[in-house]
Structures are given as structure tokens and as C-alpha cells.
């Protein structure tokens, strides 16, 4: 309205954080953001690998007093949670001591609480807390309550902010006997739901709702929140195709080619999931692809490694392989061709679907998703995103990728 005085959003944000700092007892002036760092980008180095660790983790400082926590980055879910150090908690071995809450429970009427609880679960509960339970594809789970605490975060320009973010305080973590127990303090949920820390920071005006990761095949890499480090050209973009209630990054149907030739595998709905170590196809697609891969293998060069336990399908050569490079000539490249847009393809060289074990064998890093209780879901996991910058652009509802040196942190 003409003549009306409007307070800039950055000023409101500063007043908001000052108020919250009072509630959190201590606040350093360096944590306040200024107008120039508005919509900045944050970059975090990653630790981990596909094999033998099986995940990639970012370390963040949380709480008052600040403590470090190493979190498995997961674009397949949106809730971030830490193992919680309360009496009677069931926690798993982890790099750091559990998080200890301090009268900072999120109430059940908080909008973020509503976003993580399905209508069927909205039965009468304690109004002074918000309970959560997340169950993952491998049937690992976390049960706990939501809390709100500070996350000091540094922009690439050196400015530091300390937003109060909602996350889970997990007091009961379960891992089935068939699954590998992750050595982690928790999960960094990077899905598109309101509970995601990225969505929360975007709603505060701290970053644009864009995230990305670069997973190095040599181990390590980096994660970024915001869009300043996204290359201006060369990216292959595909639109996100999902129902409004879904929080993962589905790119819709895709066909699979082997060595540039059709495999008969068509219209597979594909999900990009950094929380999955390996790539998964439903049983029908998996068995078709496995049969074709085996047909192309020269039995004089590779034979089944039946004594290898690292993964279900493995091969060994006349002598142990010292690297994937020594074995890749026996395999053809794969192409994931997305049909929701023209000429959108994810190229997977043998390095993007093979694992070299500590015994010098090579194993197929594409697994049977139906056998893993994923139903008909098809996941692009870490192994197939190695040495690529992968961008999840929630602002424009698209996912992109480009070959990249993931050992070079921006």
C-alpha cells in the first residue's frame, strides 16, 4: 500500500534470532546474519565412501554448549535426528556422545510436527511434545521426540548464522539383524518436506531451497546448501515428478540401456537417494540386467566369486584386482534415460556400479530392491552418483548432475 512503511525481512530475522538467543541463554554477536549474507551458501566437507564404510557423513555443531555430530546425508528422507542421551535411551555405537535435550521440546501444535505425522497417527497425545518415528528402506528405525536447538553455520563468504532448527531426539534406534549398523550420530534429512533443515532455513530467508553433493570415488567429497556454487552451464536437468505428499526426489519413469543398446527395461520410476549406498532395481528389472551383464562377461577373464560375501554378485579374475580400472574392460556402460524430458540421460560407467572388495574381487553395486523389501521402488544410490555434482533444486522442482572433481571443495 502506498505510504506504508515495511520492515525488511532481514531486519525481522535479526530481531527473531535475538529473541531466540535470549531463550537459549547465550548468543554470540558473530552469529547474527547481515543483509549481504542473505540467501548465501554453506559448504560442508564429507567423510566416508561406498565401500567399506557404506555412507557419507557431514559433521555439524549443534546445541548449547556446542557439540559436534556426524550425520549420514540422506536425500531420501526429510527429518534430521540425533541419538538422544536421556535415561533409558537405546542408542547405537556412534562417533560422538548422544545429544542431550534441555527443556527444548517442540509442542504437538507446531506446524513442523504436523508435517511429519500422517493423519492416521494424529490421535490424542501429549500436547507438550511431538513424537516421531521414521522407518527406512533397510528397516532401520528411529523413535523419539522433536526438539529445537541452534545450529551455527558458516557461509562461504565467512559470515556465520545460528538458526534455531527443529530435529529429532532419537531415544530408540533399531537395526534389523540383516542390516549393517551405521556408525553415525544420526541422519541429516535433506528431502523436500517441511521438516527438512534445508526447508526450515529457506523459510527463514537464510538460503535458497537448493542442496547438492559431490561424492568422491576416492572417499570424502562435499555437501552444499544454497545455490551459489551451482555451475552456470553443463548441467543435465530433469524435472522432479512426484505426488504432493511425497518428500523424495523422484524423476519419473526411465529406460535402462546397456552399452547403448535397449535392455527391455522400461518406465522404471527412479528416485535419487543419497541415503542408499547402492543402486536398487525391482526384481524383474534387476534379473533382466544381471542376465545381460553376465552374457557379456568372458569366462576366461572373470568367474563367479562364490566365496565373496561383500555383495550378492561378485567376480574374480586370474589375479586379484588392484582397482576397478583393471576390471572395467569386462563391463559395458549403463544409461538411465529419463522419459519425462527429452535427451535427459544419466551415464553410468562401470565405476558407477562396480565395487572392488578388500579381497581384490569386483562386485555388482546394483541390487535387487524387491528382495531388499523396497517393493517396486528403484533407487539411484551413492555408488551411481560418484564423481558427479548432483543438485536438488527445490526452487525450480528439478534435479541436475554434471561430472565433477569431488576432491576439490568450493
Catalytic residues: 74, 273
Here the cell at position 49 is: 565412501
Whole-angstrom Cα distance, residue 319 to residue 252?
42
Strands (E) located in 286-374: 303-304, 314-316, 334-338, 344-348, 354-356, 362-364, 366-368
H/E segment holding residue 22: helix 9-23
Strands (E) located in 26-162: 42-49, 55-62, 67-74, 81-83, 131-135, 141-150, 153-154, 160-161
* Per-residue exposure over 146-167, b if at least 16 CB sit within 10 Å of its own CB, e if not: bbbbbbbbebeeebebbbbbbb
H/E segment holding residue 257: strand 249-258
Contacts of 163 (CB under 8 A, 6+ apart): 17, 150, 151, 153, 200, 201, 204, 206
CA 97 to chain centre: 23
- Asked if residue 285 lies in contact with residue 373, where contact means CB atoms within 8 angstroms, the answer is no
Here the cell at position 172 is: 530408540
How many CB atoms sit inside 10 A of residue 170's CB? 28
State the sign of the Cα–Cα–Cα–Cα dihedral 17, 23, 27, 29: positive
What is the three-class DSSP state of 222? strand
Amino acid at each position: 500500500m502506498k505510504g506504508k512503511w515495511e520492515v525488511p525481512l532481514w531486519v525481522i530475522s535479526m530481531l527473531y534470532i535475538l529473541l531466540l538467543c535470549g531463550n537459549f541463554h547465550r548468543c554470540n554477536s558473530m552469529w547474527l546474519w547481515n543483509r549481504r549474507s542473505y540467501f548465501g551458501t554453506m559448504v560442508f566437507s564429507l567423510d566416508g565412501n561406498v565401500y567399506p564404510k557404506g555412507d557419507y557423513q557431514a559433521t555439524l555443531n549443534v546445541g548449547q554448549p556446542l557439540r559436534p555430530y556426524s550425520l549420514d546425508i540422506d536425500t531420501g528422507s526429510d527429518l534430521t535426528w540425533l541419538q538422544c542421551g536421556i535415561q533409558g535411551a537405546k542408542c547405537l555405537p556412534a562417533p560422538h556422545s548422544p545429544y542431550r535435550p534441555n527443556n527444548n521440546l517442540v509442542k504437538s501444535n507446531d506446524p513442523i510436527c504436523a508435517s511429519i505425522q500422517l493423519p492416521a497417527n494424529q490421535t490424542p497425545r501429549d500436547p507438550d511434545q511431538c513424537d516421531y518415528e521414521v522407518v527406512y528402506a533397510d528397516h532401520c528405525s528411529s523413535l523419539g521426540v522433536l526438539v529445537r536447538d541452534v545450529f551455527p553455520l558458516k557461509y562461504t563468504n565467512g559470515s556465520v548464522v545460528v538458526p534455531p532448527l527443529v530435529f529429532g531426539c532419537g531415544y530408540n534406534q533399531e537395526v534389523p539383524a540383516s542390516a549393517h549398523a551405521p556408525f553415525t550420530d544420526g541422519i541429516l534429512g535433506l528431502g523436500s518436506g517441511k521438516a527438512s533443515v534445508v526447508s526450515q532455513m529457506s523459510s527463514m530467508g537464510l538460503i535458497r531451497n537448493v542442496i547438492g553433493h559431490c561424492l568422491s570415488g576416492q572417499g570424502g567429497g562435499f555437501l552444499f546448501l544454497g545455490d551459489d556454487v551451482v555451475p552456470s552451464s553443463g548441467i543435465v536437468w530433469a524435472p522432479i515428478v512426484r505426488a504432493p505428499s511425497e518428500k523424495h526426489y523422484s524423476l519419473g519413469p526411465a529406460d535402462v540401456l546397456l552399452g547403448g543398446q535397449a535392455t527391455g527395461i522400461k518406465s522404471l520410476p527412479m528416485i535419487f537417494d543419497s541415503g542408499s549406498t547402492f543402486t536398487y532395481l525391482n526384481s524383474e528389472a534387476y534379473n533382466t540386467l544381471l542376465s545381460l551383464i553376465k552374457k557379456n562377461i568372458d569366462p576366461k577373464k572373470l568367474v563367479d566369486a562364490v566365496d565373496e560375501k561383500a555383495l550378492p554378485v561378485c567376480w574374480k579374475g586370474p589375479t586379484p584386482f588392484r582397482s576397478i580400472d583393471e576390471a572395467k574392460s569386462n563391463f559395458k556402460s549403463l544409461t538411465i534415460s529419463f522419459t519425462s524430458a527429452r535427451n535427459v540421460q544419466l551415464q553410468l560407467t562401470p565405476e558407477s556400479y562396480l565395487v572392488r572388495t578388500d579381497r581384490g574381487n569386483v562386485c555388482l553395486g546394483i541390487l535387487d530392491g524387491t528382495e531388499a523389501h523396497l517393493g517396486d521402488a528403484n533407487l539411484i544410490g551413492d555408488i551411481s552418483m560418484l564423481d558427479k555434482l548432483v543438485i536438488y533444486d527445490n526452487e525450480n522442482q528439478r534435479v541436475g548432475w554434471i561430472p565433477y572433481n569431488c576432491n576439490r571443495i568450493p
